[in-house]
Every structure is written in structure tokens, then in C-alpha cells.
Amino acid sequence: MTNKINIQVKIGKLILKNPVMTASGTFGYGLEFEKFFDLGKLGAIITKGLSLNPVKGNPPQRIVETPAGMLNAIGLQNIGIKNFISEKLPLLKKYKTPIIVNVYGRKVDEYIEVADILNDTDVAGIELNISCPNVKRGGLQFAADKKAVEKIINRIRKKYKKTIIVKLSPNTGNIEDMAIHCERCGADAVSLINTIVGMAIDIKTKKPVLANVFGGLSGPAIKPIALAAVFKVSKKVKIPVIGVGGIMNYKDALEFMMAGATAVQIGTANFIDPLTCVKVIKDLQYYLKENKIYDINKIIGAIKLE
């Protein structure tokens, strides 16, 4: 019976074998998890954020556990796009799983250049992290600057023919308006939400626990916020919405899909149990079988309001 159940979903030009993706920043470059399970079972692998040049990231302490979540202030540490292509991508190619690179920059031109470098590689798509501070605008997040986002998407779209996903921030403005704007500019899909700004204080030293003071809150604590955002945005755009934020099991994944998500990204849960993604895939299949649902796409937006 399981073989007759369709769990494929479509994101832009990509046909994913299932709707379970990894969330950027929580799965390394993908290879870190290959000792735990076959990466070919995933719907897609989204790498940690990659920039034009290598970035060392913030000084420690960079991670702190919180009730029902965690704060991170890694600072987008990465090896740079060219090193990724030469060192990591060849090793990922053996898996029949789309590789999506999370892209970020400090200036508009940096986004464009990274996307241009990826154009002729085996990378299946890009996810634009617009939660970064724009150095030309005094640190204002790109996610709060529609003109900058428009310039990024339009310029990439002219050259980049593969799938473009834009990851939206809950920390700036109206996330629904930004999703609509991204769709108009040519994005193939939006993923939401990125982490929420938070902090922690050591009451003994009276100092912030994180060296960076602020960090990004993720995990179950943000799930209700992410779920509401997915529901609202999915009603406003026609492009696929990818849900991310506090997904720990198949029940969480189903909630996001019923709220309107075409696919989901699993993040913080990977730190707790590296097998979370494959467990969710398996449990989703069992749920569909038990409920005699033969196409997972029928779950998308199935929420009943009356």
C-alpha cells in the first residue's frame, strides 16, 4: 500500500521525493550527517549559509539552550562558496537528493555573484537568506528593504534559471507583504520563518550569555509563530510556501502542511536526534496509509476553519 502513496511535492522547478528538507544552519554542509543515515532519503538538503568569501563567525559563546529552544549567534561561519563547490559538492553528488545552497551577502552584489558562481554547478537551487544586515544601509536587514530584495531577486532571476527560494524573517515588517513582493519579483517559493531575535543573561555575572548579546531563537518555542505565519502567507501567494520553525516530529510537519506549507524544513531537532528527518518521512507515510490518503498534496492547506 505504501508504494501506491504519492509523497512527492513540487517546489519551483524541483520535484522532491518527499516534503522533508533540512533547515539551513542546522545540517552543516550535509556530509556531517551521512554517518547517521542515507542522505538520499531526504526531500532536499539545504546547506548552511554560504557567502562569497569564507567567514569566521562570531567569538564564543555562540549557542545557549533556552526553555523549549536554543539561541545561536554563530555569525554565519562558512568556508565560502568556491571552497564548498570544490570540497563539499563533489561528495554530495552521489546522493540522489537535490542540494539547495543557502546564500547570503552583506551587499546586493555579493548575493548576485554567489548565485552566478552556482549557475553552472550541480546545485539544484538556492535559498536567499535576506535576514542579513545590508552594510550599505547601516545594518538594516535586507528583509526590511523591499527595494534591495527586489534588486537581488530580479538580478539573480535574469541569469539563474534554477529554483529560487527566499527565506523570510519574522523580525521585520509584515511578512505577508514581503512574501507577496518576492512572488512578484520572480521567486519560485518562500520559506518561513527564520529565527526570532532573542537574548539570555547570566544573573551571576550580569552579562549577556552570548558574546554577540543577541542570537536567533529556534526550536519548539517558535512553532506557533511560524505556523501562523505559514497560514497567513499561504493565503496571499500562489507560489509554494515552505514551513520551518520548531518541527520536531511528523505531527508538527502535518500541522504546517495543513496550514498551507508544500514542504517543511527540520532544523533544531537535528541537534537532539540526527535521525529526526528520516523518522518524519517514515511517519508521514504511515499517517497517510492509516488515513487512506494516497497523495500527500491533498494535505496541503487542508485546515478547516468551520
User: Mind telling me the catalytic residues?
Assistant: 132
DSSP string, 97-131: S-EEEEE--SSHHHHHHHHHHHTTSS--EEEEE--
State the cell numbers at 303: 485546515
Q: Which amino acid is at 104?
A: Y
What distances in angstroms separate CA 276 from CA 22, 265, 273, one per listed residue? 10, 11, 6
CA distances from 117 to 113, 130, 171, 237 (A): 6, 19, 30, 29
For 113, other C-beta atoms within 10 Å of its C-beta total: 16
Residue 6 DSSP one-character state: B
**How many angstroms separate the CA atoms of 98 and 17, rounded?**
10
